[in-house]
Amino acid sequence: MEWFESWFDTPYYHLLYNNRDFTEAENFITKLTSELELVPNSKIIDLACGKGRHSVFLNKLGYDVLGLDLSRQSIEHDKQFENRTLAFDVHDMRNPINADPVDAVFNLFTSFGYFDNENDDQKVFQSVYEALKPGGYFVLDYLNEAYVRHHLIPESTVRRGDIDFRILKKIEGRHIIKDIRFEDGGRPFHFFEKVKLHSPEAINSYASDCGFERMQIWGDYQLNEFKNTSPRCINLFKKN
């Protein structure tokens, strides 16, 4: 089992990240869909949807949404939100997507770069390309490698409820590794996250090899222009 398969299916993952800024995320998605001029009833796939907060909000904006995630526990949780224009399913992003062609695929908040094998990274782009209608959009919201290297915090402790999560971060080769240790009920736990530091050029190479054209890069969730100092690398690709 790969690290993300075990870690994402634990309640501790969701506890650690339960402070996500919903308002920022919703404002970002509102700006993004407006920028792409996605009309109501457009079909969108939220790839690596987690607990479904972005899928649900996109659906409230009037879109027909399919949320996909590898975590069975997350998808079981998401099923409560389903309706005629909102569905969820378990899916590995490396595999072809079994759905009618869509207008856009969103991969948000660093839900890419988990795989050691570069062929797996390429498979993600290929599966997204095949899932899109001609002229469809792929939004890949990723970390900015240069920003991460200059703002790495090697050690921190995060308290959630009665649990102190001790977090160590380091860069090894092309990966940023987050080591997570804590105790609960007298038992020690240890998990880690490992994300590849893809440069903007590497991301564009994956995309162009599949037939995508990069239309835009934004540097933050306000959709400001991308710079080396930007915290994010939000890529907009179009299927030719």
| Adjacency order of strands within the sheet including 86-90 | 86-90, 64-69, 43-47, 102-107, 132-143, 232-239, 212-218
Rounded-to-integer distance, Cα 159 and Cα 157, Å: 7
How much is the pLDDT for 57?
A: 96
Domain boundaries, the chain: 3-144+199-239, 148-194
Rounded-to-integer distance, Cα 50 and Cα 70, Å: 8
The dotted CATH code for 3-144+199-239 is 3.40.50.150
- Kindly state the tokens that stand for 36: 């792409």
E strands in the chain? 43-47, 64-69, 86-90, 102-107, 132-143, 155-160, 163-172, 175-184, 187-196, 212-218, 232-239
pLDDT in tens, the chain (240 residues): 788 888 888 899 989 988 776 788 899 999 999 999 999 999 999 999 999 999 999 999 999 999 999 999 899 999 999 999 999 999 999 999 999 999 999 999 998 989 888 899 999 999 999 999 999 999 999 999 999 999 999 999 999 999 999 999 999 999 999 999 999 999 999 999 999 999 999 999 999 999 999 999 999 999 999 999 999 999 999 998
Residue 64's nearest CA partner among 89, 90, 38 is: 38
How much is the pLDDT for 25?
A: 87
The model's pLDDT over 132-164, given as tens digits with 9 standing for 90+, comes to 999 999 999 999 999 999 999 999 999 999 999
How much is the pLDDT for 121?
A: 94
How much is the pLDDT for 85?
A: 98
Query: Which H, E and C letters describe 47-103, residue by residue?
Result: ECCCCCHHHHHHHHCCCEEEEEECCHHHHHHHHHHCECCEEEEECCCCCCCCCCCEE
The model's pLDDT over 175-210, given as tens digits with 9 standing for 90+, comes to 999 999 999 999 999 999 999 999 999 999 999 999
* Three-state DSSP class for residue 34: helix
How much is the pLDDT for 119?
A: 94
